[in-house]
Amino acid sequence: VWKDCMRDVDTDVSSITKSFVNHVQTSLARQPYNLDNLGAYQAAALSVRDNLLVNWNETALQYTRKAPKRAYYLSLEFLMGRTLDNALLNLGLKDQYAEGVKKLGFTMEDVLDQERDAALGNGGLGRLAACYLDSSASQELPVWGYGLRYKYGIFQQLISPAGEQLEAPDPWLDNQNPWELPRLDVSYEVRFYGHAERMNDGTPRAMWTGGQEVLAVAYDVMIPGCYTKTTNNLRLWESKPKRGFDLNSFNAGNYEAAVEASNSAAAITSVLYPNDHTSFGKELRLKQQYFWTAASLADILRRFKNIGKSITEFPDYVAIQLNDTHPTLAIPELMRILIDEEDLDWATAWKIVTNTFFYTNHTVLPEALEKWPVPLLEHLLPRHLQIIYDINLLFLQSVEKKYPGDRDRLARMSLIEEGFPKQVRMAYLACIGSRKVNGVAELHSELVKTTILKDFVEFEGVSKFGNVTNGITPRRWLDQCNPELSALISRTLKVDKAVWLKELTLLEKLLPLTEDAAFRTEWAGIKQRNKERLAHHVQTTLGLTINTNAMFDVQIKRLHEYKRQTLNILGVIHRYLTLKNMSAEEKKKVNPRVVFFAGKAAPAYYIAKLTIRLIVNVARIINADPDTKDLLSLYFLPDYSVSLAEVLIPASDISQHISTAGTEASGTSNMKFCLNGGLLLGTVDGANIEIAEEVGESNVFFFGHLTPAVEDLRYQHTYHPVPIEEKCPALANVLNQVSGGLFGDAHVYEPLLNTIRQGDYYLLSDDFDSYIAALAMVDEAYLDQTEWVKKSIRTTAKMGKFSSDRAINEYAESYWNIEAQRVV
Ligand code: 26W
């Protein structure tokens, strides 16, 4: 009877409309006759969800039955964006749903547009995690994600009339989230504070008691693979008070204390920390990290125990990937469980741990390397601090054995940094507690080995340290965001997208078509329509009219000094000043350009916020200048998000990735632009280098000093400073115009300008001239549209390497040792 009643995935239009209407009537309790777009979205989502759940259950059943080795991706951030369109495309049901909703009187675009982004991340690291989940499911790999279910995702960015960034909360769950399933039956208790007492019975065991206990409750998010039944799981934890109220306080008449207890438990998962690249050592952040790693490990262990194997076989069934150092507490937590609860000896426990974990580093910037004050750890997690000290003692003993008497080395390699207060260096702990360590692009992985982890490479051997160049999912970042281009590719290659979207190197077959004029015309037409789609979006959301007969030049990413949005805006001012000095005759030769910026600044990052303010105010002046506005205009699009990126990226002719050499670990939007036929203007940094290797240097615009020069240049700035006027007159002129008040509020920008005039840590004055020269090369290349379109086609054709399928398969084979599982 069970079997007969089980439902299958609905694939025909009439079953789809039936299930849609059924959800309107029963799940939403609404009248089908006065349904708005939001209701239509909800009904469509619930109906698609029914389909996903069928596959999701089968996938789970398969994994349970076969008990293969599984991998778990621990990430404090998952920047998922919207789900409905992606799910429909992965299920191959987009056309049927479009037809279904049309029959019911809606348009697919309006319906899709109702969905809020799931923005549980800051930037690159969080979006990478989302791409890896898509690829894991699409490659049929048994991978689950673990994260936190923040009530508020990344803040909403507003821009004040003066051009200042304002932050508003992002209550993304207010409209209900059809893509998650509360698992009220899956919950774990997580302890904080209290006392840890060693047993002193000849074992390494200790008792950790007292303190506060909080409940972690699971919410599951379905992750559909592309053209496969495999539907994996992303498990997000929500914190709850263990008992809703502290009844004792309540009865004692202390109502406030009772409510307080429930408040502080719920606070743990209330908000995503909005900084990337700076660690502030805040207690609540550490609580988030432990809460999440403890719940995830308890869940993983419970699942492992269900297969009935000996605990020593744990690493044969479980691989855990640490997405940066944020989940590093998982290392001492697993030690605690194995020693205090499973009663293993230290060596056996450490062997299990160091065969289970894998650590990915995402940045070598010193301010981004996490360090936790010892007193804070001692207070919040007393048992974990003991374990960290024990790990450190044994580790330093082994270092001392290899390098007797080398005290400097011991101090350098210690997990504990001396100082007031002492701090635990999380990257070192992640490194020594893991089976392997990797960076995210070739240059970056070399820098990890030669800078922050140099001593560890020497001590542990270089084979532990590897590289997995990042990737992006071509499903969202081509098929979904650029449907016309996707269709053209399928038509031209005569290959179903179900094939090439999963074997992206097939795009190389486009190469000969660079010589086909008709194809080039089609290609250019799609780019043009994507520019018009963006212009339409800006018109309807901001009321601004954009010139679509211009080159679209885009820089979209978090605001950060190392990413050098300031270099870009100073370049724009330089262009403006140059245009102002041109004769009418000269102006005729200039190709119009529209420059777009978007990105959020961390709320406490003063200089980054000033950069936004400068961009907005420069835009105000130059967009209103009748002398130049047809040739140059500038837009700062507020509230950058995954959904906005999906409109911006396909519309770009050129995009900018201009970090100081050696500072951007990889970058992933560079790959997205290139996949959509946008050319790249960048420094010799991160994955830009590998992109150039693939598409050929003649198809990218490189400029600026190289990584090995950076250290020397900084030394020069400090010890032999040369005034900007002398070193780079063009830049000095631009700075003086800003200082002189050409864009209003003269004094306001001084702190920003002074970062360049004094110290210039990110080397703007060293790279400015070659940047301007590169921009001129872009202008010139754009004048020859035939050659430009050829470059564009070649760029897309050579992007196969950057599919996140390639990256996730490298992790699966060379790190986790897991295999694909076919769900039939
Ligand atoms: C503790 C505060 C904090 C928060 C987040 C420090 C560092 C981070 C992340 C590691 C920052 C981040 O997102 N890094 C980016 O990771 C991407 C994916 O690998 C890379 O493409 C980017 O180059 C890198 O900046």
What are the residues whose beta carbons fall under 8 Å from the beta carbon of 518, sequence distance 6 or more?
Answer: none
- What number is the average pLDDT over the span 125-131? 98
Planar angle of CA 802, 224, 122, nearest 5 degrees: 60
Helix count (H) and strand count (E) of the chain?
36, 24
Residue 664 near ligand 1, beta carbon < 6 Å: yes
Minimum-distance ligand 1 atom for the alpha carbon of 326: 1
CA of 659 to the centre of ligand 1 (A): 14
In short, whether 662's Cβ falls inside 6 Å of ligand 1 is: no
37 exposure class (CB count in 10 Å sphere: 0-12, 13-18, 19+): middle
Q: Is 685 in the pocket of ligand 1 (CB under 6 A)?
A: no
Q: Phi first, then psi: give them for residue 240, nearest 5 degrees.
A: -140, 150
pLDDT at 263: 72
Could you tell me if the CB of 659 is within 6 A of ligand 1?
no
* 618 close to 634: Cβ distance less than 8 angstroms: yes
pLDDT the model gives residue 37 = 97
Q: Residue 85: which residues within 8 A CB-CB, separation 6 or more?
A: 94, 112, 480
Q: Whose Cα sits closest to atom 4 in ligand 1?
A: 276
How far does residue 811's CA lie from ligand 1's centre (Å)?
A: 19
User: 532-543: buried (b, 16+ CB within 10 Å) or exposed (e) per residue?
Assistant: ebbbebbeeeee
Query: What is the arithmetic mean of pLDDT over 600-619?
Result: 98
Give the helix/strand (H/E) hosting 591.
none
Most ligand 1 atoms within 8 A of CB, residue of 325, 362, 367, 802 to mutate: 362
Q: Is the CB of 324 under 6 A from ligand 1?
A: yes
Q: Which of 73, 125, 367 to mutate to test the pocket of ligand 1 (most atoms within 8 A of CB)?
A: 125
The alpha carbon of 12 and the centre of ligand 1 are apart by a number of angstroms equal to 43
Task: Summarize pLDDT for 182-238 with one digit per residue, the tens.
Answer: 999 999 999 999 999 999 999 999 999 999 999 999 999 999 999 999 999 999 999
Q: Is the pLDDT of residue 254 over 80?
A: no
* Alpha carbon distance 442, 449 (integer Å): 11
Q: What is the DSSP letter of 149?
A: -
The reply to whether ligand 1 has any atom less than 6 angstroms from the CB of 368 is yes
Q: What is the DSSP string of 599-623?
A: ----TT-HHHHHHHHHHHHHHHHHH
| Ligand 1 proximity of 274 Cβ (cutoff 6 Å) | no
User: What pLDDT is stored for residue 250 in this prediction?
Assistant: 62
Percent of the chain whose predicted confidence (pLDDT) is above 70: 99
Catalytic residue among 116, 127, 235, 362: 362
SS3 362: coil
Residue 481 Cα to ligand 1 middle (Å): 24
Q: Which of 5-14, 371-380, 399-408, 646-655 has the lowest mean pLDDT?
A: 5-14
Reported as a single tens digit per residue, the pLDDT across 666-703 is 999 999 999 999 999 999 999 999 999 999 999 999 99
pLDDT of residue 745: 86
Position 249 pLDDT exceeds 90: no
CB 79 within 8 A of CB 221: no
Q: How crowded is residue 40: how many other Cβ atoms within 10 Å of its Cβ? A: 23
| Residue 1, pLDDT above cutoff 90 | no
Distance between start and end Cα atoms, the chain: 21
Q: Which residue has the higher pLDDT, 353 or 174?
A: 353
Distance CA 159, CA 157 (A): 7
Question: Could you report the per-residue pLDDT of 396-455, keeping only the tens digit for each?
Answer: 999 999 999 999 999 999 999 999 999 999 999 999 999 999 999 999 999 999 999 999
361 lines ligand 1 (CB under 6 A): no
- State yes or no: pLDDT of 245 exceeds 60: no
Cis peptide before 421 (omega within 30 of 0): yes
Looking up tokens 């920008």 gives 749
Beta carbons of 475 and 131 less than 8 angstroms apart: no
ipTM reported for the complex surpasses 0.95: yes
- Cβ–ligand 1 contact at 362 (below 6 Å): yes
The question of whether 435 is a catalytic residue gets the answer no
Cβ 124 under 6 angstroms from ligand 1 = yes
Q: Give the 3-state secondary structure of 175-237.
A: CCCCCEEEEEEEEEEEEECCEEEECCCCCCCEEEECCEEEEEEEEEEEEECCCCCCEEEEEEE
Dihedral sign, CA of 538, 543, 548, 549?
negative
Radius of gyration of the chain (CA): 27
The mean pLDDT of 21-45, rounded to a whole number, is 94
Are the beta carbons of 113 and 37 closer than 8 angstroms? yes
Give the active site residue among 83, 293, 356, 668: 668
What pLDDT does residue 281 have? 84
Q: How far apart are CA 685 and CA 706, in angstroms?
A: 8
| The one catalytic residue among 229, 425, 672, 806 | 672
Q: How confident is the model at residue 246 (pLDDT cuts 50, 70, 90)?
A: low
What is the pTM assigned to this prediction? 0.97
Evaluate if residue 173 carries a pLDDT over 60: yes
Distances (CA, A) of 480 to 115, 473, 541, 792, 805: 15, 10, 21, 19, 16
Per-residue pLDDT for 11 more than 90?
Answer: no
Q: Phi, psi (5° rounding) for residue 89?
A: -70, -45
Q: Choose the residue to mutate in 76, 324, 689, 808 for probing ligand 1, maximizing ligand atoms within 8 Å of C-beta.
A: 324
Q: Per residue in 787-807, pLDDT tens?
A: 999 999 999 999 999 999 999
In terms of Cβ atoms closer than 10 Å to its own Cβ (0-12, 13-18, 19+), residue 252 is exposed
The pLDDT, as a whole number, for residue 333 is: 99
Q: Which two tokens stand for residue 427?
A: 């990257």
Closest CA to 390 of 576, 206, 182, 597: 206
49-95 pLDDT, tens digit per residue, is 999 999 999 999 999 999 999 999 999 999 999 999 999 999 999 99
From 127, 128, 276, the mutation candidate for ligand 1 (largest count of ligand atoms within 8 A of CB) is 276
Amino acid 256: pLDDT: 74
Share of the chain above pLDDT 90, in %: 94
Reading the block at residue 782, the tokens are: 């754009």
* 563 is annotated as an active-site residue: yes
Question: Is 3 a known active-site residue?
Answer: no
Q: Is 151 considered catalytic here? A: no
- Identify whether the C-beta of residue 469 lies closer than 8 Å to the C-beta of residue 442: yes
Q: Cα of 439 to ligand 1 centre, how many Å?
A: 11
How many beta carbons lie within 10 A of that of residue 821, not counting itself?
Answer: 16
CB 672 within 8 A of CB 649: yes
Q: What is the pLDDT of residue 244?
A: 60
pLDDT at 319 over 60: yes
Is the dihedral angle over the CA atoms 660, 666, 668, 674 positive or is it negative? positive
The first and second tokens of residue 146, run together, are 């673990």
Q: Strand 371-373 and strand 416-417: pairing?
A: unpaired
Q: Could you tell me if 576 and 622 are in contact, meaning their C-beta atoms sit under 8 angstroms apart?
A: yes
Q: Is position 668 annotated as part of the catalytic site?
A: yes
Q: Report the chain's mean pLDDT, rounded to a whole number.
A: 96
pLDDT given at position 778: 98
pLDDT of 26 = 94
3-state SS assignment for residue 465: strand
Give yes or no for a contact between 529 and 578, defined as CB atoms under 8 angstroms apart.
Answer: no
Here the tokens at position 399 are 């270092």
Residue 123, ligand 1, Cβ within 6 A: yes
Instruction: Write out the DSSP string of 729-747.
Output: HHHHHHHHHHHTTTTS-GG
> Is 557 one of the catalytic residues?
yes
In DSSP terms, 636 is beta-bridged to 597
276 lines ligand 1 (CB under 6 A): yes
Mean pLDDT over 649-654 rounds to 98
pLDDT of residue 204: 96
Residue owning the nearest CA to atom 6 of ligand 1: 277
Helix extents (H) in 624-706: 642-648, 669-675, 686-695
The pLDDT value given to residue 33:
84
Instruction: Look up residue 339 and give its DSSP letter.
Output: I
Task: State if residue 667 touches ligand 1 by the CB under 6 angstroms criterion.
Answer: yes
CA 221 → CA 60, 130, 180, 183, 359, distances in Å? 13, 12, 5, 11, 24
320 alpha carbon to ligand 1 midpoint, in Å?
Answer: 19
Catalytic residue (choose from 127, 287, 557, 806): 557
Tokens of 262: 């429930």
